[in-house]
Structure 1
Amino acid sequence: MKPIKRGFKIWALACSKTGYLVNFQIYQGKGESSSTEMLGERVVLELSKNFQNRGYCIYFDNFFTTIALMQKLLDRGLFGCGTVRQNRKNFPKHMLCTVKELSQNQSDSVASGEISVYKWKDRGVKSVAVASNRHNFLEKTEVLRTNKTGQRDNVTCPKAIADYNIHMGGVDLFDQYHENYSTSWKSRWWWIKFYIYI
């Protein structure tokens, strides 16, 4: 159901401020991997290899985020923050409030060591969950939200979720810039697209 039905999958690591492509990897299938390591974990660890022990924070979406990945990043001297699927293994759903127990703009958080998980009900019926190894699980900040009358109000939100919303768009920004140099024309040689992409 995607607008581009066929093509190459490229994993990318980009600067959140400039959209500059820092590292990328062409997806070649599952390959050989240990049964305990998920594809998303492996991709993040491989793309961030050159930045170990430098204290960078990597932001990623729920395809990549696991509690195990947060610990692995810490072991490599990196921070991580990302939305997490609430049905993932080791997600502490029994320790967090359910969606029904949270009112709009309410949050709940739990921490174990340096890894914390946050749940925040922003708008609508669902809540968003974020895992981080960088943020204090009690730290909150204020964000602007439009109310029913169209006015902008300050709303209290976990700092990890606010930071995620600010820094998550690096790859999207890169894609936006990259779209100006389209590689969508037909060619007899499949590798031409990769050459132009680089």
Structure 2
Amino acid sequence: MKLINRGYKLWTRADTGGYVSKFEVYKEKMDWMMAKPGLCENVVMRMCENLKAKWHEVYFDNFFTSLSLLQHLYESGVYSCGTTCTNRKGMPDFFLGKSLERSNSDFRVAGDYFIVVVKWMDNKSVHVASNFHDTGLK
């Protein structure tokens, strides 16, 4: 009685008011998805094609977020931020085994473009990576 692992996915880019400005329907593997660097990064880069060099802010969830994607978007002139998983390639290892008290946070700067990676503790830890947010330190 397992669900069939097939179907459609709808990739969308929407503004803060919920207006959808770009979308794609995914139903099976396409040639552009098989190219490097990978599905998630390719989807976001395609969704942001007409934002290049305009320095708009783009936010996404941990399905898409990687340090290499944030770096590629910064090189393309797009600010980006998203929640992330600690086991992603290139993540600072300060996340591993480090416990914080609730409402405390810690951060590291990673990559060539000063990508800020933050760990914030709620009931569980929340991890965020950004290529444009400031650390708050002077």
Shift of 1:11: 0.2
Q: Unaligned 5+ residue runs, structure 1? A: 140-198
Contact 2:7–2:27 at 8 Å: present in 1 too? no
Report the Cα distance in structure 2 between the residues aligned to 1:105 and 1:98, rounded to whole angstroms: 17
Contact 2:8–2:27 at 8 Å: present in 1 too? no
Secondary structure (helix, strand or coil) at the match of 2:70 reads helix
Shift of 1:95: 2.9
Percentage of matched positions with identical amino acids: 38
Secondary structure (helix, strand or coil) at the match of 1:73 reads helix
Deviations 1:7-55 (A, max 9, x none): 5211000002x100010011132323234x1211110100110111111
Contact 1:97–1:108 at 8 Å: present in 2 too? no
Q: Does 1:106 align with 2:104?
A: yes
**1:78 aligns to what?**
78
Contact 1:84–1:130 at 8 Å: present in 2 too? yes
Shift of 1:129: 0.3
Deviations 1:92-124 (A, max 9, x none): 1x234735x3011111100134211000002x2
- For residue 108 of structure 2, what is the amino acid of its counterpart? V
Secondary structure (helix, strand or coil) at the match of 1:116 reads strand
Shift of 1:91: 1.1
**2:19 aligns to what?**
20
Report the Cα distance in structure 2 between the residues aligned to 1:98 and 1:138, rounded to whole angstroms: 25
Report the Cα distance in structure 1 between the residues aligned to 2:29 and 2:87, rounded to whole angstroms: 22
Q: Unaligned 5+ residue runs, structure 2? A: none
Q: Does 1:62 align with 2:62?
A: yes
Report the Cα distance in structure 1 between the residues aligned to 2:13 and 2:71, rounded to whole angstroms: 19
Contact 1:115–1:134 at 8 Å: present in 2 too? yes
Q: How is 1:123-142 mapped onto 2 (pairs within 5 angstroms)?
A: 124=123, 126-138=124-136
Contact 1:117–1:137 at 8 Å: present in 2 too? no
Report the Cα distance in structure 1 between the residues aligned to 2:54 and 2:74, rounded to whole angstroms: 11
Shift of 1:65: 0.3
- For residue 128 of structure 2, what is the amino acid of its counterpart? V
Cα distance, 1:96–1:137 mapped onto 2, change above 3 Å: farther
Secondary structure (helix, strand or coil) at the match of 1:26 reads strand
Contact 1:118–1:131 at 8 Å: present in 2 too? yes
**Higher normalized contact order (CA 8 Å, seq sep 6+, divided by chain length):** 1
Give me the CA root mean square deviation: 2.1
Contact 1:109–1:138 at 8 Å: present in 2 too? no
Q: How many residues align?
A: 130
Deviates more, 1:40-49 or 1:25-34: 25-34
Secondary structure (helix, strand or coil) at the match of 2:74 reads helix
**More helix per residue:** 1
